[in-house]
């Protein structure tokens, strides 16, 4: 196991009716900017619960955060913070809204060009405004980590950043607010969480038995409960377990002291930047192809994954690896997520664009060994057609 530091300062308030507890988390004298996405937060009554919980405080609302949060939209919120003398931010939504809020919190205190926050992957961030979140879509674990991904449509770029200043002070997780989510969003959330775990687990052995065992349990939970969540959308226990699994998938715990990959994410980001395909669906396209392409370097962990996650224990090594990859693809398909580039209208010219974008954004040494080049990414994408 590698040396590591682990610290997660986010206070989680989990369970039914916890939105009411916002009154005890947001400072009484705060002027709050409530940040949300489209109309679903209003239609489902989540915003009404937030307003009720924050009665007596001064609240300003900023809606319109996109599913792949836009740089330009976030800057409008930063401008509003200055005009309204905002002192606290509250994200109400899924990972995209929380990601945008992290960027807004950092950009509001940054003296330079806010684009530098993304091009330096957060290295220039020296502080951020305080903020919390009310999670409505379990998927990204942005509610309990310090990372964010922002899309600049004008530049055709989707870039991640991370800063220790960008942990939410608190996050409210009420599984009941997920009951009304469309099946597509539930499926995307399960796939996103699944690949988050894989990126931290499916690398090479690091003698990290606790992290591996934890990751395998989370993966099996998603495989078991993902389809059930689509069949019985108002089963509280299923939704509660999915919500907590998605949070644990990327709150830093299973990634402590182990090598990590993230190539599927970096390649997937460029697909989204190209044609706005749902982030989770880009991962479902890239991951099976990458697993097959990198079966040599990942051999030991692929065999462990086959045995401990899918209970595939017979056949030759290559047969077991093949079966595990097909099981992974089959899982995504069972959730209604297509796993081929052609399903998302990405042709050969699109692959050329994606590979060029990887080079432009410095994504030239990806994977746990830093050995996946843009040429390797081309091969992975061509195999995913």
Cα angle value 331/205/291 (rounded, 5°): 35
Write the pLDDT tens digit of every residue in 173-192: 999 999 999 999 999 999 99
3-state secondary structure string, the chain?
A: CCCCCCCCCCEEEECCCHHHHHHHCCCCCCEEEEEECCCHHHHCCHHHHHHHHCCCCEEEEECCCCCCCEHHHHHHHHHHHHHHCCCEEEEEECHHHHHHHHHHHHHCCCCCCCHHHHHCCCCCCCCCCCEEEEECCCCCCHHHCCEEEEEECCCCEEEEEECHHHCCCEEEECHHHHCCCCHHHHHHHHHHHHHHHHHHHCCCCCCCHHHHHHHHHHHHHHHHHHHHHHHCCCCHHHHHHHHHHHHHCCCCCCCCCCCCCCHHHHHHHHHHHHHCCCHHHHHHHHHHHHHHHCCCCCHHHHHHHHHHHHCCCCCCHHHHHHHHHHHHHHHHHHCCCCCCHHHHCCCHHHHHHHHHHHHHCCCCCECCCCCECHHHHHHHHHHCC
Write the pLDDT tens digit of every residue in 224-241: 999 999 999 999 999 999
Write the pLDDT tens digit of every residue in 51-62: 999 999 999 999
What Rg value do the Cα atoms of the chain yield, rounded?
Answer: 20
Burial class (CB in 10 A: 0-12, 13-18, 19+), 155: middle
pLDDT at 284 (0 to 100): 98
Tokens of 156: 């055709």
**pLDDT > 70: what percent of the chain?**
100
Residue 39, pLDDT above cutoff 90: no
pLDDT at 199 (0 to 100): 98
pTM of the model: 0.96
Residues 346 and 271: beta-carbon distance below 8 Å = yes
Query: Mean pLDDT over residues 96-106, rounded?
Result: 98
Write the pLDDT tens digit of every residue in 356-383: 999 999 999 999 999 999 999 999 999 9
Of 49-53, 211-215, 347-351, the poorest mean pLDDT is in: 347-351
Domains of the chain: 11-177 (3.40.50.1970), 183-383 (1.20.1090.10)
Residue 167, pLDDT above cutoff 90: yes
* Mean pLDDT value across the chain: 97
């Amino acid at each position: 196991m590698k040396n590591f530091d682990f610290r997660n300062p986010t206070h989680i308030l989990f369970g039914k009716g916890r939105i009411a507890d916002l009154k005890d988390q947001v400072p009484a004298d705060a002027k709050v900017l409530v940040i949300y996405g489209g109309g679903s937060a209003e239609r489902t009554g989540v915003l009404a619960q937030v307003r009720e919980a924050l009665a007596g405080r001064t609240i300003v609302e900023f809606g319109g955060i996109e599913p792949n949060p836009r740089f330009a939209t976030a800057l409008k919120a930063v401008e509003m913070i200055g005009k309204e003398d905002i002192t606290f931010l509250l994200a109400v939504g899924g990972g995209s809204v929380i990601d945008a809020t992290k960027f807004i919190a950092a950009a509001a205190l940054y003296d330079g060009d806010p684009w530098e926050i993304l091009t330096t992957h957060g290295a220039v961030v020296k502080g951020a405004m305080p903020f919390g979140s009310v999670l409505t879509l379990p998927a990204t674990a942005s509610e309990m980590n310090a990372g964010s991904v922002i899309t600049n449509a004008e530049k055709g770029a989707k870039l991640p950043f991370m800063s220790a200043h960008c942990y939410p002070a608190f996050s409210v997780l009420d599984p009941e607010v997920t009951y009304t989510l469309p099946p597509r969003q539930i499926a995307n959330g399960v796939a996103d969480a699944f690949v988050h775990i894989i990126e931290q687990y499916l690398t090479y052995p690091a003698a990290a038995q606790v992290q591996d065992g934890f990751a395998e349990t989370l993966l099996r939970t998603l495989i078991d409960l993902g389809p059930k969540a689509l069949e019985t959308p108002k089963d509280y226990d299923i939704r509660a377990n999915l919500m907590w699994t998605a949070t644990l998938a990327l709150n830093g715990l299973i990634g402590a002291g182990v090598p990590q990959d993230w190539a599927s994410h970096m390649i997937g980001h460029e697909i989204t930047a190209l044609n706005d395909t749902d982030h989770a669906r880009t991962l479902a396209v890239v991951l099976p192809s990458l697993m097959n392409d990198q079966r040599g370097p990942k051999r030991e962990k692929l065999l462990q994954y086959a045995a401990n996650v899918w209970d595939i224990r017979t056949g030759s090594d290559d047969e077991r690896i093949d079966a595990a990859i097909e099981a992974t693809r089959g899982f995504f398909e069972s959730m209604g997520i297509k796993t081929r580039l052609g399903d998302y209208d990405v042709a050969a010219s699109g692959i050329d664009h994606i590979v060029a974008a990887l080079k432009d954004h410095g994504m030239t040494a990806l994977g746990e060994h830093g050995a996946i080049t843009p040429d390797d990414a081309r091969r992975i994408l061509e195999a995913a057609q």
